[in-house]
Amino acid sequence: MPPRRRRDEKPLQRRLMRFWWRFLLVALVLYIGYTIWLSGAYRSTEAFVAGQCEAVAAPPGPEDMALLPEGTGLLPGAIVSSQDRRDRAAPGALYFYDMSSRPGRFTRLELPASLVLHPHGLSLFTATDGQVYLHVINHRSSDRHTVEIFAVQLTVGAVPALRHRGSVASDLFIHPNGIAAAGPESFYLTNDRGGGIGFIGPRWMHMMENLLQLSRSTVVYHDGRGARVVADNIAFANGIEITGDGSTVLVGSTQWRMLLAYTREPNSGMLLRSGSLPLPGGADNVRRDANGDLWVAAHPNAFAFIGHAMNAEKESPSIILRLSRDARGAVHTAEAFGDPGSLLSGASVGIQRQGRLLIGAVFQPTVLDCQLDTGKLRPIEN
């Protein structure tokens, strides 16, 4: 009797390969579906205002704003970062929004003729002697980014003036988005993406980061002499703010739809992750008011925002949240503003002073000037 032939193992190997390929395909589909769900693709936003808002014609792309300190005889108002993001070759500018009346009035601030500004995030710092400093992210080109530092000259009854003190550059400024001034020349900034890898350029790598929820964003601290990364592994780090006592740095993660808290070491500027708070949308800019409350602009539907970025006619919903602490230290989240996009698309910042809420946008040449009734804010379960 001839010996029995050994069973061919190749069909088994092929079946195993097919199983693993199917498994990976299903896992990828589920992961992409989860990413789409997390990005709020199917979420809608109900129109809601805890008060009354008035639309004010503004310079293009009033993406970030910061309130100037109050003082006797000084004009109340905010400095506004303006950039037409549908025509990035066009230079941007800084404006003062006078809040002595409602609605207010925009005045363009003079800058040195040699300074070409494409501004993004900005932040103010008041020194112990009362001198105010302004830090502004400047996208000089697609791969060169600086922080411009100004001394703000405040005069009774007059629009503030800016004196340029210099530019700060670093290889760690990969694609800065938000900034929080920590001193006259020191600051934290967020890189909302990582750099390119190998043959994959920064633009394609950024698309992969968003699609696959990769955590390649960083927070950089510049102490006036040099820069270093003080926090990493964040998915699309966006807005950033420092608490009034300087002990905590708060970072908005757009992709994770949460606010991250970091304990700050004041001498070295180093950060240690200490907590997080989920949000009902992708966090954009974070602003602190005189009471210590945080005001967060968020995008509930990331896909709608992408559509709005590609086509101005498409609407993108927005919400403005207030985060406050009670006497026991518990954080409470409340909605001050919500809009499906008909009033303002892609709101990026909300700043509040004495019941007056200003809302800016990434693209639209519009600012909402709102009178709030804080008793009508709508609580949100965290």
With cut-offs at 50, 70 and 90, classify the pLDDT of residue 203.
Answer: low
Exposed / middle / buried, residue 51 (Cβ in 10 Å: 0-12, 13-18, 19+): middle
Give me the number of domains the chain comprises: 1
Is the predicted pLDDT of residue 188 greater than 60, yes or no? Answer: yes
Q: Is the pLDDT of residue 220 over 90?
A: yes
The verdict on residue 99 lying in a domain is: yes
185 lies in some domain: yes
To the nearest 10 degrees (0 to 180), the angle between helices 10-38 and 202-212 is 90
pLDDT over 70 (residue 189): yes
CATH number of the structural domain spanning residue 306: 2.120.10.30
251-274: average pLDDT: 96
Instruction: For 13-160, list the strands marked E by DSSP.
Output: 48-49, 51-57, 62-67, 77-82, 93-98, 105-108, 119-126, 132-141, 144-153
Q: Nearest-CA neighbor of 286 among 363, 359, 351?
A: 351
* Sheet-wide strand order for 119-126: 119-126, 132-141, 144-153, 161-169
Please check whether residue 4 lies inside any domain of the structure: no
Q: Could you tell me if 182 and 269 are in contact, meaning their C-beta atoms sit under 8 angstroms apart?
A: yes
Consecutive H or E run containing 339: strand 331-339
Q: What is the mean pLDDT of residues 13-42?
A: 62
Question: 24: part of which helix (H) or strand (E)?
Answer: helix 10-38
Give the Cα separation of 278 and 380 in Å (integer): 11
What is the C-alpha R_g of the chain?
23
63 domain residue, yes or no = yes
298 beta partners: 283, 319
Q: Is 236 left (phi over 0), alpha (psi -120 to 50) or beta?
A: left
pLDDT at 215: 86
* 3-state SS, residue 167: strand
Across residues 231-240, what is the average pLDDT? Answer: 96
- What's the mean pLDDT when you consider all of the chain? 90
Quote the pLDDT of residue 40.
56
CA 203 to chain centre: 19
- Looking at the domain assignment, is residue 7 inside a domain? no
Give me the sign of the Cα torsion angle 127, 128, 129, 130.
positive
What percentage of the chain exceeds 90 in pLDDT?
77
Residue 203 is assigned to a structural domain of this protein: yes
Q: Which two tokens stand for residue 319?
A: 């919400």
Mean pLDDT of 241-267: 96
Fill in the DSSP letter of residue 257. T
Q: Give residue 333's pLDDT.
A: 97
User: pLDDT tens-digit profile of 35-94?
Assistant: 555 555 556 688 999 999 999 999 999 999 999 998 878 999 999 999 999 998 899 999
Residue 265: what pLDDT? 94
pLDDT (tens digit, 9 = 90+) per residue, 120-159? Answer: 999 999 999 999 999 999 999 988 999 999 999 999 999 9
Range(s) of the domain holding residue 271:
43-380
The answer on pLDDT for 234 being more than 60 is yes
Residue with tokens 């703000």: 152
Residue 24 domain-assigned?
no
Read off the amino acid at residue 339. Answer: D
Q: For position 322, what pLDDT does the model report?
A: 98
Backbone angles phi, psi at 252, to 5 degrees: -90, 130
pLDDT at residue 23 is higher than 80: no
C-alpha to C-alpha distance for 331 and 376, rounded to whole angstroms = 18
Per-residue pLDDT band for 357 (boundaries 50, 70, 90) equals very high
pLDDT of residue 195: 77
Q: For 274-328, what is each residue's pLDDT tens digit?
A: 999 999 999 999 999 999 999 999 999 988 998 999 999 999 999 999 999 998 9
Residue 374's φ and ψ, nearest 5 degrees, are -60, -20
The answer to whether residue 88 sits within a structural domain is: yes
Distance of alpha carbon 94 from the chain centroid: 18
Residue range 162-185, pLDDT digits in tens: 999 999 999 999 999 999 999 999
DSSP-based three-state secondary structure for 144: strand
